[in-house]
Structure 1
């Protein structure tokens, strides 16, 4: 992103602070590596990337670059890769807030306040909070002892302060947007609420091509068709099962005197058989819920 395109030293005080926060410098080619998902990528490009990349043009049209966005989708649909990237050719700092790490400090609300205070010391930063429903659930009255009411209140106060400064972007992700407090999602705290669904045909094709090493004898199109609703992790698991099958067959061939090896690499049938043995993370019911969430919550 253009805010992060300035070349900065990878050492010095800011680098140490970034490391303490659990952040890191982002490789410049991550965005290009997100295959498929053309509609989602185009939406993020137009709503998030371009306004950040063209600040002078923004000003002429009265467009204010986004300061905070939220991504939501079914479990395992790969939301983190989408926000946690820089545009091709850019270099940026990303701080990924680990909720469990903050919780280890005891008082989660105080730890969250301290983390945002340290983040404020960085000139430009992208902050990513995954599974944000853990710290911003729906508040119930009266507040329950030991609940997260105070943590949600703290986060609601921190976001406006974070948004006041330029050259920073907060990205939150969740697979349960309906469990987030309504005040957390209001305009003024989040500019956009963007749905990210399961990998489409092009995305699954790219994933399968990677795991099959581009071997011509493997029918990638058949694997893509058979893996609808499979997440990237589901596909990885199926590919691992097929590879293990191929490996064991190779060992059996050696033991049976078939030379140094049998057929190398998993076949299309191996992969299809593995898919029938793997249970996809996303179910049709989850897809229906996701569609309802888009209608109720999406703001693009």
Structure 2
């Protein structure tokens, strides 16, 4: 065999680096960095290769972050390990990165990998260290597109913040989140990950909150499409809808949410209504959307019985899920969110939960904020001295259970008894769990 030489990486060497990465991936020495990251660093950062008879037998790829250098990939053919190839290659990479003013050159390896090639070349094993990583939900190329669509990355803990509503959360977890987050597990059981779901229920029951919580749970971008903003007087609503979904199709992942979908998917009639064209287009959009992997369409409506029959037909929406009024556990969590912590120990939450039955989350929020506002108004009406005393950090906050029940007595329920009865009928007739 010929002599091994070390040189800088050339674009023609990329196939050889990919081969070395896959060889490492197929053994116990699986690379820490993905193939995409390694190939990107070959081109944009720092890389050297070892060559024997015009054949690349080893590669080292590095990346600089502030004053620290990181070895993104280090791979050596088995038949080249007996030579001093590893040491020469690592030295060459170090010399290449030295002008950057680095203080250390570091490397992360899987626990099962051999580290003798590193420790024999000056790298010291550091104990009591753990490597953690988190995937970025949106790649750089998608950021501008997401901005144009008005989409955003939601905080990661919205799912946990939806307290109570255990039945609804369990349905969403089992039907939506698990199959999408763990497609391999779903495939083992013959479960096809969902592509579109309809949420229905009385107004103010938290359908939007649940849609956002699902996006947060999946760590996917959340893109809301507003029916009222489709069309600009020049472009038709149908064309506008098509254009928006063509842009969305360029994203790798996403939860697309359409609230009050009945505005563009109401029952078609003869003669046609002005919105019938956009209803037809939406039906096509849903069909096309179902061919996409890694995307979820969530529609929400307060009036599920007003939707066009073709819209709810099997094959368009995987599930039609009811979202009702908050249960006792959810009501208590909502109260605790809006009652100041300084007065919580003195508040009878069991009573508040009992008397707020039948109210939506928004109704409870209104009552809690009204009670707080009325208490502040009482202090302010007491005069300047009373207000100054109340502003003191040590001054007690005068809010009682009676204040909250008084606010509840003047809070109108968003959902009437008739609406609640109609919702229960809709569950029987239209829900698909």
- How does the TM-score come out when normalised to structure 1? 0.92
Counterpart selection for 1:177 from 304, 308, 311:
304
Structure 2 counterparts to residues 1-300 of structure 1, below 5 A = 7-8=135-136, 12-86=140-214, 91-104=219-232, 106-144=235-273, 147-214=274-341, 215-254=344-383, 260-261=389-390, 264-300=397-433
Q: 1:258 to 1:71 in 2, by over 3 A?
A: closer
Verify the 8 A CA contact 1:245 1:266 in the aligned structure 2: no
Q: 1:171 to 1:6 in 2, by over 3 A?
A: farther
Task: Mark the runs of 5 or more structure 1 residues left unpaired by the alignment.
Answer: none
Instruction: Provide the aligned length of Structure 1 versus Structure 2.
Output: 294
Q: 1:139 to 1:253 in 2, by over 3 A?
A: same
Higher RCO (C-alpha 8 Å, min separation 6): 1
Q: Which moved more, 1:130-139 or 1:102-111?
A: 102-111
- How does the TM-score come out when normalised to structure 2? 0.64
Q: 1:10 to 1:191 in 2, by over 3 A?
A: closer
How far residue 90 of structure 1 moved from its aligned partner, in angstroms, is 5.1
Q: Which protein is bigger by CA-based radius of gyration? A: 2
Verify the 8 A CA contact 1:29 1:86 in the aligned structure 2: no
SS in 1 for 2:230: helix
Mapped partners of 2:134, 2:250: distance in 1: 17
Whose strand fraction is larger, Structure 1's or Structure 2's? 2
Q: Deviations over 1:122-154 (max 9, x none)?
A: 11111011110011000002313xx21111000
Q: Which moved more, 1:282-291 or 1:97-106?
A: 97-106
